[in-house]
Amino acid sequence: MFRLAHFSDPHLGPLPDPSLLQLLSKRVLGYVNWRRNRLRAMGGDYLARLLDDMEQRTPDHIALTGDLVNIALPSEIAAASAWLGAVAAPERLSVVPGNHDAYVPGALRSAMEAWSAFMTGDGTPMAHPGTAHFPYVRRRGPLALVGVSTARATAPGFATGRVGVRQTRRLTEVLAGLGEEGLFRVVLIHHPPFQGATSWYKRLEDASRVRAAIKRAGAELVLHGHTHVDSRTSIEGPDGPVPVIGVPSASHAPGGRKPAARYNLFTITAAGDAGWTCSLEERGFRTIDGGIEEIDRADLTIPRRRR
């Protein structure tokens, strides 16, 4: 049995005061949005309380699918690096970046350098020390965590993502090889890879490439963030539908338009010739005055891989 916790989109605050020069870019829109909306919606202690509850359930590993910061100021990226170290050791916490982590040109490189310990595959040679490479692979017990980056700098008003041809080709090869090893393959990605998940200006532009890779090579589970809502759907795999699970922002206060802060806890067990069993427990807040509680529980159908 292996327990995997998943949370996303913490949008760590408070937002440092940017310089005038730093605001002469797309950042000015994000700064205004923070002051008008996200400061109120994400300014409480919900994230800290959520992480405390998560730790009490002693997951074997933790996955974080992006948007650690808001407008990718250098001070935000540095603070997020320290915060990651407080959440868990790099060996126990796997991270992929989101669109806010790549808010302006150059930000993603800085984030990848600062957070590379949490984004580096097992035994991956570093062409440039301190730089992450995608997709990465981390083997943890019966699991193989495959980290995919959709993050890139976009024009003002856009929050789209892209995987690209080279990363997709490598993703297909990696998933196929891990399938031959008989591992439970968990794809970590920020933008959801299914159709109709978001507005067009927030979509994963080449989601069809990700779906094609999974249809050809297979996976057991896909975890994403970005939408700030809980969602469960599936995409086609070679052996049947592959579950795709989204989670709300881990710092959102109750009472807003989006669900309050939550995380998912997966319990994964090898079932011999039957393949795998995987149960999902969704935990988080319902009300402002309430504590963390079980929101939902479900057994996921995991396709049995044909040999």
Domains delineated in the chain: 2-300 (3.60.21.10)
What is the structure's pLDDT at 38? 81
What is the structure's pLDDT at 17? 82
Per-residue pLDDT reduced to its tens digit, 11-21:
999 888 878 77
Alpha helical stretches, state H, the chain: 20-23, 27-33, 39-41, 46-56, 74-87, 107-114, 165-180, 207-217
The H or E element spanning position 163 is none
Mean pLDDT of 244-267: 96
Tell me: pLDDT of 158 over 90: yes
Between strands 221-224 and 184-188, the pairing is parallel
Beta bridge mates, 232? 245
Instruction: Work out the pLDDT band at 127, boundaries 50, 70, 90.
Output: very low
How far, rounded to the nearest angstrom, does the alpha carbon of residue 143 sit from its chain's CA centroid? 16
CA-closest candidate to residue 75, choices 114, 130, 42, 26: 114
Alpha-carbon distance of 158 to 201, in angstroms, equals 5
DSSP per-residue letters across 81-125: HHHHHHH--GGGEEE---GGGG-STTHHHHHHHHTGGGS--TT--
Percent of all residues in the chain with a pLDDT value above 70, rounded to a whole number: 96
Between strands 143-147 and 136-140, the pairing is antiparallel
Tell me: pLDDT of 192 over 70: yes
Per-residue pLDDT reduced to its tens digit, 160-182:
999 999 999 999 999 999 999 99
- The SS3 assignment for 160 reads coil
Alpha-carbon distance of 81 to 112, in angstroms, equals 10
Phi, psi of 240, deg, nearest 5: 140, 180
Per-residue pLDDT reduced to its tens digit, 26-73:
998 887 887 888 877 887 899 999 999 999 999 999 999 999 999 999
Alpha-carbon distance of 266 to 6, in angstroms, equals 8
